[in-house]
């Protein structure tokens, strides 16, 4: 669908309405380059493709900050907000410490029980991660039909310990923790239980719904263990667009490419079964809970061993190469890693009858 933008005096600029999900990558890159130039020399890492958190020089420490909303309906929205924001701070080698939150609540649907539940989740998630909720804003507003939480996480790191999101190097080994796809599997199981249980079994669906907490969507421990175990050059928490998009983001941010081994990709059996039933590609399914690690090849085994000893599954899935692009290798040869312009959950819900 095309509409006409008349915001400029006398001009008629044709525009395409965007679908639900992230802005198209090319448009976002253009907007960041034109609209957000950096003038402050203290900004060590500003906005850019594959950059999920910013880094600001505060002298002997770097401040790392991240902002993300939780917009989908969920009964654990406060818990989500803390964990999702903490993940991206941890991916830069920093320790998440302080959280501010804006809580927007729907008119005519908000009572004391709902508000207390969200505040309890914020407190519980913060205590689990050692994060203090230090401020924010709460209001009941019109125009929304569900709670929306917008969180900003702040952490710090010594300058020498910063892991840049664009730091992947040619020859690195790519390690993936846990499996594909923790968050997406839980969401599908929670919201499509009645459809999936008769076909796949209530036990499998219930187990998949519990993925939010076991193995869990936090990668804070994963990141901490990895940076202590080896020479980690970049880390990334794959969210919308799944592991496939996460791999592209971590390599494109560094101007590099990658070779990925299909047989090495650890897809949960529950995920595989549900995705097959629904016609969803697990590689493009929102994947919070897994951590992509670009580590010097000499240290890959040490990082995997440390993660495993810490109770976190980890697998080598490929290597970073100098030439751009990402290829997926299997017994038949290689093919380009699929590109997902939007997350598979968003595509599924829009196409579902």
Q: What is the pLDDT of residues 67-77, one digit of tens each?
A: 999 887 678 99
Dump pLDDT digits (tens) for 174-216.
999 999 999 999 999 999 999 999 999 999 999 999 999 999 9
User: How is residue 61 annotated by DSSP?
Assistant: S
Boundaries of every domain in the chain: 21-161, 173-351
The neighbouring-strand residues paired with 153 are 66, 99
Q: For residues 124 and 81, what is the distance between their CA atoms, to the nearest angstrom? A: 12
**Per-residue confidence (pLDDT) for residue 1, from 0 to 100:** 34
User: Of the ranges 14-18, 52-56, 194-198, 298-302, which one carries the lowest mean pLDDT score?
Assistant: 14-18
pLDDT above 50 for 246? yes
The helix or strand, by DSSP H or E, that contains position 64, with its residue range, turns out to be strand 62-70
pLDDT above 50 for 4? no
The helix or strand, by DSSP H or E, that contains position 3, with its residue range, turns out to be strand 2-5
Residues 6+ apart with CB under 8 A from 304: 175, 314, 315, 316
Q: What angle do CA 79, 82, 294 make, to 5 degrees?
A: 120
User: How is residue 39 annotated by DSSP?
Assistant: -
Q: Do 28 and 14 meet the contact criterion of CB atoms below 8 Å apart?
A: no
Prediction pTM value: 0.90
**Per-residue confidence (pLDDT) for residue 73, from 0 to 100:** 66
Fold (topology level) of 21-161: 60s Ribosomal Protein L30; Chain: A; (3.30.1330)
pLDDT above 50 for 303? yes
**Nearest residue to 287 (alpha-carbon basis) of 199, 131, 177:** 177
What is the CB neighbour count within 10 angstroms for residue 60? 8
User: How is residue 171 annotated by DSSP?
Assistant: T
Confidence of residue 7 (pLDDT cuts 50, 70, 90): very low
Confidence of residue 292 (pLDDT cuts 50, 70, 90): very high
Q: For residues 160 and 163, what is the distance between their CA atoms, to the nearest angstrom? A: 9
Residues 6+ apart with CB under 8 A from 25: 49
CATH number of the structural domain 173-351 = 3.90.650.10
Residues 6+ apart with CB under 8 A from 126: 82, 99, 132, 133
Confidence of residue 6 (pLDDT cuts 50, 70, 90): very low
pLDDT above 60 for 12? no
Q: For residues 300 and 38, what is the distance between their CA atoms, to the nearest angstrom? A: 35
**Per-residue confidence (pLDDT) for residue 26, from 0 to 100:** 82
Dump pLDDT digits (tens) for 44-69.
988 877 678 999 999 999 999 999 99
**Per-residue confidence (pLDDT) for residue 85, from 0 to 100:** 96
pLDDT above 80 for 21? no
């Amino acid at each position: 669908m095309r509409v006409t933008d008349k915001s400029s005096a006398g001009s008629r600029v044709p525009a395409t309405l965007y679908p639900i999900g992230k802005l198209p990558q090319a448009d976002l890159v253009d907007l960041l380059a034109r609209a957000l130039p950096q003038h402050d020399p203290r900004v060590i890492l500003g906005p850019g493709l594959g950059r999920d958190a910013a880094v600001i020089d505060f002298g002997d420490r770097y401040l790392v900050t991240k902002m993300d909303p939780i917009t989908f309906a969920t009964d654990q929205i406060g818990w989500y907000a803390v964990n999702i924001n903490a993940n991206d701070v941890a991916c830069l080698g920093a320790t998440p410490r302080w959280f501010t939150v804006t809580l927007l609540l729907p008119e005519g649907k908000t009572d004391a029980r709902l508000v207390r539940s969200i505040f309890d989740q914020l407190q519980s998630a913060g205590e689990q991660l050692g994060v203090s909720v230090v401020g924010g804003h709460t209001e009941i507003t019109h125009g929304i039909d569900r709670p929306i939480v917008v969180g900003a996480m702040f952490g710090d790191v010594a300058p020498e310990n910063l892991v840049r999101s664009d730091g992947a190097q040619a020859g690195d080994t790519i390690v993936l923790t846990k499996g594909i796809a923790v968050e997406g599997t839980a969401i599908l199981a929670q919201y499509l239980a009645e459809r999936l249980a008769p076909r796949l079994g209530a036990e499998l669906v219930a187990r998949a719904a519990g993925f939010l907490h076991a193995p869990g969507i936090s990668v804070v421990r994963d990141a901490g263990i990895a940076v202590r175990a080896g020479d980690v050059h970049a880390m990334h928490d794959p969210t919308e667009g799944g592991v496939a998009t996460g791999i592209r983001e971590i390599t494109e941010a560094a101007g590099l490419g990658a070779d990925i081994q299909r047989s090495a990709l650890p897809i949960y059996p529950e995920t595989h079964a549900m995705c097959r039933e629904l016609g969803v590609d697990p590689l493009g399914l929102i994947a919070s809970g897994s951590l992509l690690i670009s580590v010097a090849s000499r240290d890959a085994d040490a990082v995997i061993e440390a993660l495993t000893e810490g109770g976190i599954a980890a697998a080598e899935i490929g290597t970073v190469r100098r030439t751009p692009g990402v290829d997926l290798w299997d017994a038949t040869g290689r093919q380009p890693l699929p590109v997902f312009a939007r997350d598979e959950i968003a595509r599924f819900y829009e196409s579902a009858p």
